[in-house]
Structure formats: C-alpha cells, structure tokens
Amino acid sequence: MDQEKLDQMRAILNKLEDIKNSQESVIDKINHVITDLFQHPDKELEEAMEKAHQKSSDNVDAVREVINEYEIKINKMENEG
C-alpha cells in the first residue's frame, strides 16, 4: 500500500466534503431568501432562487455520488495493502 497516495486521496476526499458542505450552505441561504420573499413577494426573484436551489441541489447530489465512489476506491486500496 502506498501511504503517500492514500494520504493524497484522503486530502482530496476532505476537499470534496468541503465542496458538498459549501453547496449545502448555499442551499440554506437560498432557502432564507425564498422565505423572505413570502413577506416581500418578487416573482422574478423567486423563480431565479428556485432555479438556483435546483442547481445547487443537483450539485450536492453529484458531489455526494463522487464522494461515495471515491471512498470505495480508498477503502479498496486500504484493503489491498
């Protein structure tokens, strides 16, 4: 087992987790704007926020999938060593 390679892979995995967490934070902020729009309606802004929410949700799903696949690679490498 190449420990240096495993360490690099774990560092990449941590960055992927950070990306996922950042996207989840973006979704939370978008939700706050959408909630604020209940009191101060703006149809155009609401539509834009709904689109942004969907895109961010799709990004979270994509990154989560990559994380799962990458974790499998790391585990496989660890088990081979």
List, for residues 49-72, the tens digit of each pLDDT value. 999 999 999 999 999 999 999 999
Residue 42: count other Cβ atoms within 10 Å of its Cβ. Answer: 12
Check residue 81 and report its DSSP letter: -
The confidence score (pLDDT) of residue 1 equals: 62
Q: How many domains does the chain have?
A: 1
Full domain range(s) for residue 39: 3-80
Mean pLDDT over residues 41-48, rounded?
97
Tell me: pLDDT of 46 over 80.
yes
Structure tokens at 73: 């690679």
The Cα–Cα gap between 70 and 67 comes to 5
The confidence score (pLDDT) of residue 45 equals: 97
**Is 60 in contact with 20 (CB distance < 8 Å)?**
yes
Mean pLDDT over residues 32-53, rounded?
97
The pTM of the full predicted model, rounded to 2 decimals, is 0.87
